[in-house]
Amino acid sequence: MLTRLRPVLRGGVKASLPSLTKTVSPLRGYSSLVASHDSPNLVNLSEAPFLLNSANAALSHPELAGTAAAEGQAKQLNLYQSVNDALKTALETDETAVLFGEDVAFGGVFRCSMDLQERFGADRVFNTPLTEQGLVGFGIGYAAYGSTAIAEVQFADYVFPAFDQIVNEAAKYRARSSSNFDAGGLTIRMPCGVVGHGAMYHSQSGEAFFSHSPGIKVVMPRSPFQAKGLLLASIRSKDPIIFMEPKILYRASAEYVPTEDYELPIGKADVMQEGSDVTIVGYGTQLYHIHAAAKMAEQKLGASVEIIDLRTISPWDRDTVFESVKKTGRCVVTHEAPRTGGIGAEVAAEVQEKCFLHLESPVQRVTGWDTHMSLAFEDLQVPNVTRIFHSIKKAIEY
């Protein structure tokens, strides 16, 4: 954050600011860093144990077995670069594919579409006027013709003008025409989640709103390797997909990613770590905190934690979760979004119904509180390592 001083645009004013050393926290004096200097909540996102840290690790990933991608190369990318790589691959392999949204032409505000207009031309990669309902509806029509539409909504917080188009149109296009028409060629990408300073309108994670609607799928990747494979599968899926990209990971998370074309399965959760005492279900950025909490639980409580990344949030992979909970007898679900009506509620309800006789403790939800995200209080609102650890402890000691 301590970046160089840029020249001030207007002439004549060169501010002499008071010394920085007086601020409470030089790194992030403006916002809500509440962790003590040695707090377990200071999670370094780039050092997560699950990130594939060599080309070999990426190419030998079991989900690539037998594919051409496994025989190719891999290079280290962060998440926005891997999204860019997936978009490039999609545009190369499908001549009907178009990519559009607000500020997409110059590379997008998060740089995910960088250089794509130069490569594929302004007819295939273009800016739309500033209207989410317009651009999503446009994408539905483009897809209904049988072509491939990749729409970008600049922030998940700003998707709501398009809610009608998504829930009443994209989701119902197939059903109302009994599959005569469908909007399956549409993928709507959007950056989501907290980022440390997004406050009320640059932090939301609205997956639960969309999960409530039949006819669409909701996908959220956890890392660059996952992002490329899941995004390509989403773009090629015959169902409309909301593809939510945790924006804090765009630059924070780096991983080896195969350079060739590959897909990871939609609708399939990933058991990231096997364990015997408690199952933790999560997705997106939460997995970084879950892993840190699981490690802490192993060290402090001797607990063996199984970690599941849903990847596809809706419809989610119930078999994988049920199988795990039947084994461990305990379940914790986490997400950033508020608790009421969230994905955690859905997972908890299904788990108690399908795994009741196997449960040793109540299913717990570790979630954002039922309030709006604040600039000053974000660190107290989003589930952190402490809260996830506490839930593991409670599950085991119940």
Partner 1 sequence: MLRAVSNHACLRQALSSTRTLRTGLQKHVHKTQFVSVRHVSTTKPTERAEVEKPIVQNGELVFPGALRTSFVNNMTFVDPTTQDSMPTYRVVGPDGVQIDKSYKIDLPVDTILKMYKDMVTVSIMDAIMFDAQRQGRLSFYMVSAGEEGMAVGSAAALKPQDHVYSQYREQGAYMYRGFTLDDFMNQLYGNKHDQGKGRNMPVHYGSRELNMHTISSPLATQLPHAAGTAYAQKMAGVDGVTLCYMGEGAASEGDFHAALNIAATRNCPVIYFCRNNGYAISTSAIEQYKGDGIASRAIGYGIETIRVDGNDIFAVHRATKKAREIALRDQKPVLIEGMSYRVSHHSTSDDSFAYRSRGEVESWQRKDNPIVRLRKWLELNKHWNEEEEQKFRTQARKDILTAFSKAEKVKKPEIVSAFTDCWEDIPPHLKEQQQELGEILDTYPEHFDLSAFEGGRGGLHDK
Catalytic residue positions, numbered: 132, 202
Q: Which of 124, 172, 197, 327 binds partner 1 (CB under 8 A)?
A: 197
Is 299 a binding residue for partner 1 by CB under 8 A? The answer is no
Residues across the chain:
398
CA distance 203 to 193: 5
Q: What are phi and psi of 47, to 5 degrees?
A: -110, 20
CA distance 2 to 377: 22
CB 158 → partner 1: shortest distance, Å?
6
Is 177 a binding residue for partner 1 by CB under 8 A? The answer is no
Q: Which of 141, 213, 312, 371 binds partner 1 (CB under 8 A)?
A: 371
Is 13 a binding residue for partner 1 by CB under 8 A? The answer is yes
Is 341 a binding residue for partner 1 by CB under 8 A? The answer is no
Q: For residue 299, how many other CB atoms are within 10 A of its CB?
A: 9
Q: Which of 88, 141, 267, 369 binds partner 1 (CB under 8 A)?
A: 369
Instruction: Give the footprint of partner 1 on residues 76-95 (CB under 8 A).
Output: none
Question: How many residues sit close enough to partner 1 to count as binding (CB under 8 A)?
Answer: 77
Closer by beta carbon to partner 1, 296 or else 321: 296
Instruction: Give the footprint of partner 1 on residues 260-289 (CB under 8 A).
Output: none
Tell me the sheet residues that pair with 365: 333
CB 306 → partner 1: shortest distance, Å?
23
Is 134 a binding residue for partner 1 by CB under 8 A? The answer is yes
CA distance 182 to 169: 10
> In the sheet where 278-282 sits, what is the strand order?
270-273, 305-309, 278-282, 331-338, 364-368
CB 179 → partner 1: shortest distance, Å?
29
Is 178 a binding residue for partner 1 by CB under 8 A? The answer is no
DSSP string, 281-318: EE-TTHHHHHHHHHHHHHHHH---EEEEE-SEEET--H
CB 325 → partner 1: shortest distance, Å?
23
Is 160 a binding residue for partner 1 by CB under 8 A? The answer is yes
Q: Which of 129, 178, 299, 353 binds partner 1 (CB under 8 A)?
A: 129
List Cβ neighbours of 34 (8 Å cut-off, separation of 6 or more).
Answer: 41, 379, 380
Q: Which of 78, 76, 97 is nearest to 88 (CA)?
A: 97
Q: Which of 33, 46, 48 is nearest to 294 (CA)?
A: 48
Which residue is associated with the tokens 């192993």?
298
Q: Which of 86, 199, 219, 303 binds partner 1 (CB under 8 A)?
A: 199
CB 384 → partner 1: shortest distance, Å?
8
Q: Which of 109, 167, 271, 301 binds partner 1 (CB under 8 A)?
A: 109
Helix axes 385-397, 286-301, angle to 10 degrees: 50
Do 307 and 287 meet the contact criterion of CB atoms below 8 Å apart?
A: yes
Q: How far is CA 58 from the centre of its chain?
A: 20
Q: Which of 85, 152, 157, 346 binds partner 1 (CB under 8 A)?
A: 157
Is 8 a binding residue for partner 1 by CB under 8 A? The answer is yes
Instruction: Give the footprint of partner 1 on residues 28-57 (CB under 8 A).
Output: 28-37, 39-41
Do 245 and 227 meet the contact criterion of CB atoms below 8 Å apart?
A: yes
CB 24 → partner 1: shortest distance, Å?
5
